[in-house]
């Protein structure tokens, strides 16, 4: 991103919380409601269900409907109790989750999807659910994912964001995430850390490792508007190693409450990316805080009452 580029502050007007009423989904409630409160946004809570089979005995599907209605009511009351400033709009969808969410995003002009994901364990490792990864890779707006290892300390259950880690490979998706990371840091007056992990040196790179690190740090510094330094002192880190490991380690050191990443759109065979251990997959699966992802096709909305200038 050129240093002379003008960058408007990002705001969220309509937030969609996707839930299956599970405990893992509930971990995401404070972040969805907290962001809605901070930005004065509308909060939509959506559950996508399988179509009711009316061929079953009436007492069976009536019981399912009653249970679902009770879960919806309990969710609404929980949000109102913890966040009285937020009035959730309850939505019910049917069929394929990603398709139903896409329809809701378009209909309600959603700026951000918030989703909690349960982890599966195997060989001692957590795995990001395929539904969650499909959502974050195909959604037409940024996605905040609360992974299976996200901490549940009191501050985080209230949606506090005191420290943000923005990790970038300087690709198009991560550059689109810059204004979101900066805007959230300003909104919450958070500590902001920018990270680039150098996976390997290019074969034709003739500079020394130190020179290469300095070059990457200059690129990181160029991403931050000069005005940002009026309300915070961003930290700039260049590491060497595997990207996912470097991001997770940096997040621990920074005591990050949020990681912001760019994510590539799916490529190759449909559904194939949902089962590969990509960087974003590993970060969301193992991060001890939520992860906000942005794809190259995301179009975050801009606030009309403020601007951040790049110098």
The residue written with tokens 């020179």 in the block is 211
Q: Cα torsion for 229, 31, 237, 307, to the nearest 10°?
A: -30
Q: Which residues contact 117 (CB under 8 A, 6 or more apart)?
A: 24, 128, 129, 131, 132, 145, 146, 147, 148, 284
Dihedral sign for Cα 247, 9, 16, 266, please: negative
The answer to whether the CB of 172 falls within 8 A of the CB of 193 is no
Residue environment code for 146-160, b if the CB has 16+ CB neighbours within 10 A, otherwise e: bbbebeeeeebbebb
**Strand-pair partners of 262:** 294
Rounded Cα gap, residues 59 and 191, in angstroms: 54
| 176's tokens | 């689109």
Compute CA distances 25 → 19, 175, 309, whole Å.
Answer: 5, 29, 37
Report residue 135 CA to chain centroid gap.
11
pLDDT of 43 reads 97
Neighbouring CB atoms inside 10 A of 247's CB total 26
Residue-by-residue DSSP string for 88-105? PEEEEEES-HHHHHHHHH
3-state secondary structure of 237: strand
Q: List the 89-94 sheet strands across, edge first.
A: 89-94, 42-49, 14-18, 112-116, 143-146, 291-294, 258-262, 163-167, 191-198, 235-240
Q: What is the CA radius of gyration of the chain?
A: 20
pLDDT of 88 reads 93
pTM to 2 decimals?
Answer: 0.81
Residue-by-residue DSSP string for 283-295? HHHH-SS-EEEE-
Domains identified in the chain and CATH numbers = 6-309 (3.40.50.12370)
pLDDT of 108 reads 96
Tell me whether residue 311 is exposed, middle or buried, using C-beta atoms within 10 angstroms of its C-beta: 0 to 12, 13 to 18, 19 or more.
Answer: exposed
Tens digit of pLDDT at every position of the chain (311 positions): 444 344 567 789 999 999 888 888 888 899 999 999 999 999 999 988 766 655 666 666 567 777 788 888 899 999 999 999 999 999 988 888 888 899 999 999 999 999 988 654 433 333 445 677 778 888 889 999 988 788 655 444 456 789 999 999 998 888 889 999 999 999 899 999 999 998 865 444 545 555 567 889 999 999 988 888 778 889 999 998 999 999 999 999 999 999 999 987 655 444 444 444 588 888 988 999 999 999 876 545 544 333 322 22
The residue written with tokens 């590969």 in the block is 276
* Of residues 29, 201, 16, the one with CA closest to residue 109: 16
CA atoms within 13 A on the CB side of 241: 11
């Amino acid at each position: 991103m050129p240093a002379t580029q003008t960058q408007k502050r990002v705001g969220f007007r309509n937030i969609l919380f996707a839930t299956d009423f599970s405990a893992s989904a509930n971990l995401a409630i404070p972040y969805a409601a907290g962001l809605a409160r901070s930005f004065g946004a509308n909060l939509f809570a959506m559950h996508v269900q399988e179509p009711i089979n009316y061929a079953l005995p009436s007492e069976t599907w009536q019981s399912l409907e009653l249970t679902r209605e009770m879960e919806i009511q309990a969710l609404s009351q929980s949000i109102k109790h913890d966040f009285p400033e937020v009035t959730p709009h309850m939505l019910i969808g049917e069929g394929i989750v990603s398709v139903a969410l896409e329809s809701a995003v378009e209909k309600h002009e959603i700026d951000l999807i918030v989703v909690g994901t349960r982890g599966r364990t195997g060989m001692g490792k957590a795995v990001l659910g395929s539904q969650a990864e499909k959502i974050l890779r195909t959604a037409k707006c940024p996605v905040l994912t609360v992974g299976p290892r996200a901490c549940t300390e009191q501050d985080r259950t209230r949606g506090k964001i005191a420290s943000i880690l923005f990790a970038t490979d300087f690709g198009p998706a991560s550059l689109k995430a810059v204004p979101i990371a900066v805007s959230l840091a300003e909104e919450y007056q958070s500590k902001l850390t920018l990270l680039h992990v150098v996976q390997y040196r290019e074969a034709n790179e003739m500079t020394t490792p130190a020179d290469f690190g300095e070059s990457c740090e200059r690129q990181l510094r160029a991403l931050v508007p000069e005005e940002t330094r009026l309300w915070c002192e961003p930290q700039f880190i260049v590491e060497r190693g595997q990207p996912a490991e470097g991001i997770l380690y940096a997040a621990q050191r920074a005591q990050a409450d949020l990681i912001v990443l760019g994510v590539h759109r799916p490529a190759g065979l449909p559904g194939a990316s949902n089962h590969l251990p990509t960087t974003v997959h590993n970060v969301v699966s193992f991060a001890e805080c939520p992860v906000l992802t942005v794809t190259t096709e995301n179009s975050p909305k801009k606030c009309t009452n403020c601007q951040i200038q790049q110098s």
